[in-house]
């Protein structure tokens, strides 16, 4: 795939799936804005990729802060005048039973995993309209399709991302913007590594392919939706989970 001269923004891109997506876009010669709330890790990741193919720059972004998303939009407008691809990858979770959740935990989960993509998308949509074919790829989760033990509110937020994807896809199709959604299953990232051993083992065993995904395998699906290879695809959801979930 060739993304030469395409302008790409990836959120939550200092780690895991977001970072793997940045790497893949850079290899395909895109101009990538690697954004993350963790400025130290973001700067370091962008510095590591500088000098390779593509053009990777770091911009700080807290997806829970509308002002931060607006500042990013102003910068992209000034620098490029348009945006071709937005990947909403920032997300967070801790596995614990619903009855142990605090309201603060619920608020953080929803603010980051659901309102984050909503706010960033709203801020950047005018720039995607200015592209000759804007694309949005949202990272949801198989938890949002089939539910997940100990991830009750996270699953609700990720289910919301799926419904948001489909509804937005209908609204913006006339502006030549396509919106699709990738649902990773368990994937070998710092987020997955932070979950309890018992949970990680149980999930790995339940996967027909008997291993978790590599972040680059999820990034492959992100690039598919961001590319012309999916030119007639919008409002769709693709699980990358080694067969863990098989949903119609
Ligand atoms: P990760 O923890 O490796 O990376 C997430 C990144 O998001 C980090 O760099 C973090 O600093 C950043 N971030 C956190 N809060 C932020 C904020 N307020 N604003 C901007 N950036 C913020 O996570 P991973 O595994 O790469 O996850 C990527 C996406 O995939 C998430 O949306 C996650 O929910 C989803 N996912 C991951 C799965 C897995 O097994 N790793 C499974 C299913 C879905």
**DSSP one-letter string for 130-144:** TSSS-EEEEE--THH
162, part of any domain: yes
56, part of any domain: yes
Give the Cβ contact number of residue 173 at 10 Å. 13
Go through 2-18 and write b for each residue having 16 or more CB atoms within 10 A of its CB, e for each that does not: ebeebbbbbbbbbbbbb
245, part of any domain: no
Catalytic residue, chosen from 3, 58, 154, 192, is 154
Task: Residue 185: give its domain's CATH number.
Answer: 3.40.50.720
Phi, psi angle pair for 5, to nearest 5°: 70, 5
pLDDT in tens, 47-83: 999 988 889 999 999 999 999 999 999 999 999 999 9
Rounded CA separation 28/79 (Å): 21
134 lines ligand 1 (CB under 6 A): no
**Is 105 designated active site?**
no
218 has a pLDDT exceeding 90 = yes
246, part of any domain: no
54, part of any domain: yes
37, part of any domain: yes
**CA of 174 relative to ligand 1 center, distance in Å:** 31
Give the chain's domain count: 1
Q: Which of 108-112, 191-195, 197-201 has the highest mean pLDDT?
A: 108-112
Structure tokens at 236: 């769709």
187, part of any domain: yes
Phi, psi angle pair for 132, to nearest 5°: -80, 5
pLDDT in tens, 102-139: 999 999 999 999 999 999 999 999 999 999 899 999 99
Site to substitute for ligand 1 among 44, 90, 155, most atoms within 8 A of C-beta: 90
Containing structural domain, residue 136: 7-240
128, part of any domain: yes
Rounded CA separation 36/48 (Å): 15
139 lines ligand 1 (CB under 6 A): yes
59 lines ligand 1 (CB under 6 A): no
Rounded CA separation 219/113 (Å): 18
């Amino acid at each position: 795939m060739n993304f030469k001269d395409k302008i790409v923004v990836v959120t939550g891109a200092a780690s895991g799936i977001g970072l793997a997506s940045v790497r893949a876009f850079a290899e395909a010669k895109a101009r990538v804005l690697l954004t993350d709330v963790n400025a130290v890790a973001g700067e370091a990741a962008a510095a590591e990729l500088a000098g390779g193919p593509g053009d990777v720059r770091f911009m700080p972004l807290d997806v829970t802060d509308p002002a931060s998303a607006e500042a990013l939009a102003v910068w992209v407008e000034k620098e490029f005048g348009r945006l071709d691809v937005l990947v909403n990858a920032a997300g967070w979770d801790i596995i614990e039973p619903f009855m142990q959740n605090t309201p603060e935990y619920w608020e953080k989960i929803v603010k980051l995993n659901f309102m984050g993509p909503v706010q960033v998308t709203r801020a950047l949509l005018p720039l995607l309209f200015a592209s000759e074919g804007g694309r949005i790829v949202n990272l949801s989760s198989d938890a949002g399709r089939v539910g997940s033990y100990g991830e009750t509110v996270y699953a609700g937020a990720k289910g919301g991302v799926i419904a948001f994807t489909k509804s937005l896809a209908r609204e913006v199709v006339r502006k030549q913007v396509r919106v699709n959604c990738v649902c990773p299953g368990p994937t070998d990232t710092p987020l997955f590594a932070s979950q309890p051993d018992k949970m990680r083992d149980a999930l790995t065993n339940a996967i027909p392919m008997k291993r978790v995904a590599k972040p680059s395998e999820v990034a492959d699906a992100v690039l598919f939706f961001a590319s012309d290879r999916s030119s007639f695809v919008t409002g769709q959801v693709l699980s990358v989970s080694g067969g863990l979930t098989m949903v119609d």
